[in-house]
Amino acid sequence: MNRLKQAISEKGVVISDGVLKVDSFLNHQIDPALTLEIGKEFAERFKNQEITKILTLESSGIAPSLTTALELGVPVIFSRKKKSLTLSSNLLTAKVYSYTKDETNEITVSKDFIVEGDKVLIIDDFLANGEAALGLTSLVKQANATVVGIGIVIEKSFQPGRDKLEQAGFHVESLARISSLKNKKVGFIEEMVANK
Amino acid sequence: MNRLKQAISEKGVVISDGVLKVDSFLNHQIDPALTLEIGKEFAERFKNQEITKILTLESSGIAPSLTTALELGVPVIFSRKKKSLTLSSNLLTAKVYSYTKDETNEITVSKDFIVEGDKVLIIDDFLANGEAALGLTSLVKQANATVVGIGIVIEKSFQPGRDKLEQAGFHVESLARISSLKNKKVGFIEEMVANK
């Protein structure tokens, strides 16, 4: 998605070889027009999957999930992050380890909203080690629902997340795939398919 | 806003005299079509204010802020909640006491995104005691920017938040004003003005 790559190139800040800051349009300040395009692109890529729900993780996944949901006409559910387990019989929970913060969070979703038979599209802002996405797939499985795909805004392709998700059998679509952040420069993987 | 009131009446769950759960369309699962209408209504109510930014609080404020931003063509910034202060010279911070959780959180926003001269619309999902909204106004003031209004999806009018905000000189627009949650029933304040 060219407009997204352009925003990353122009406004992204490379903090280190592993860390890209996109606070000015995705993670803290949100560019609504770009987010709308991101949603249209996800909807286009997953349009034949008969999606019934979109599942994401608070907070940065909410905006691109909402614009995708507007296109597809399905609800968004955002999973909540908590440091400690809230004991509730009505929650599905999964543990997610964050390499960045070196801490494990519990992510939760109500059993009322992901239910048996649901065809769920998972959306997240970043894919690095894949821990958050795998946690979300675990919530869907616990509900006896199906993950029909995983949509990622920015994939750090030099980290193992995508491989882990594909090895687990999931269909991953990433709108921008970053091959390297070395020397303070963002390198992209150019896809073979026509890529807007 | 009739469609919002209808959703509250039909899908809201009154937990106690003070607590209304709207997890099925606003706070955990998001109804995208309703959220789009909410955004259009906020945009209509604040259209003459020359708004340059929308400021909200993660996580539940993000969706209605984004649909408002799509209408107004301005960026959204979502303030982050943290239990402990992150020392950073580039952050504006305010303390927000939560009556529900009986804890004080630090809310933060980068100095890069709310700047002198900005005309800021604050949006939040709920107004009860007004602590979160007042914290957001404090961030705007610290940046030498102006709060041009506060848009609330659901106001619990039997709690003191609105009075506090109006006494501090802010213009508040709430799309649904709840007069009472007694006897497990949601009562609304009917506005004198034509109210969609």
Question: Does domain B2-188 bear CATH number 3.40.50.2020?
Answer: yes
The C-alpha of A98 sits at a distance from chain B's nearest C-alpha, in angstroms, of 17
Residues B11-20 have a mean pLDDT of: 95
pLDDT, one tens digit per residue, over A57-111 is 999 999 999 999 999 999 999 999 986 555 567 999 999 998 888 899 999 999 9
Contact call for B59 and A80, based on CB within 8 A: yes
Percent pLDDT > 70 in chain A is 94
Q: Is the pLDDT of residue B116 over 60?
A: yes
Task: Give the one of B62, B70, B80 whose C-beta lies nearest to A62's C-beta.
Answer: B62
Average pLDDT, chain B: 94
pLDDT, tens digit, 9 for 90 and up, residues A61-73: 999 999 999 999 9
Interface of A with B (CB under 8 A): 23-24, 28-33, 35-36, 58-59, 62-63, 66-67, 69-70, 73-78, 80, 109-110, 112-113
In this complex, how many residue pairs, one in chain A and one in chain B, have their CB atoms less than 8 Å apart? 95
- Of chain B, the percentage scoring pLDDT greater than 70 comes to 94
Task: Tell me if B80 and A59 make a contact (CB, 8 A cut-off).
Answer: yes
Displacement of CA B140 from its chain's centroid (Å): 14
CB B156 within 8 A of CB B127: yes
pLDDT number for residue A82: 81
Hey, is B48 helix, strand or coil?
coil
Pairwise CA distance, residues B147 & B149, whole Å: 6
The whole-number pLDDT of residue A99 equals 86
CB-CB contact of A78 with A58 (8 Å): yes
Q: What is the pLDDT of residues A150-159, one digit of tens each?
A: 999 999 999 9
Indicate the fold that domain A2-80+108-188 takes in CATH. Answer: Rossmann fold (3.40.50)
> What is the SS3 assignment for A192?
coil
Report domain extents, chain B: 2-188
The tokens describing A115, both together, are: 């239910």
Reported ipTM: 0.95
- Residues in B closer than 8 angstroms to A58, CB to CB, are 58-59
Q: What residues of chain B have any CB closer than 8 angstroms to a CB in chain A?
A: 23-24, 28-33, 35-36, 58-59, 62-63, 66-67, 69-70, 73-78, 80, 109-110, 112-113
pLDDT for B123-161, tens place per residue?
A: 999 999 999 999 999 999 999 999 999 999 999 999 999
The token pair at B5 is 């009131």
pLDDT tens-place string over residues B161-180: 999 999 999 999 999 999 99
Please give the pLDDT value at position B192: 62
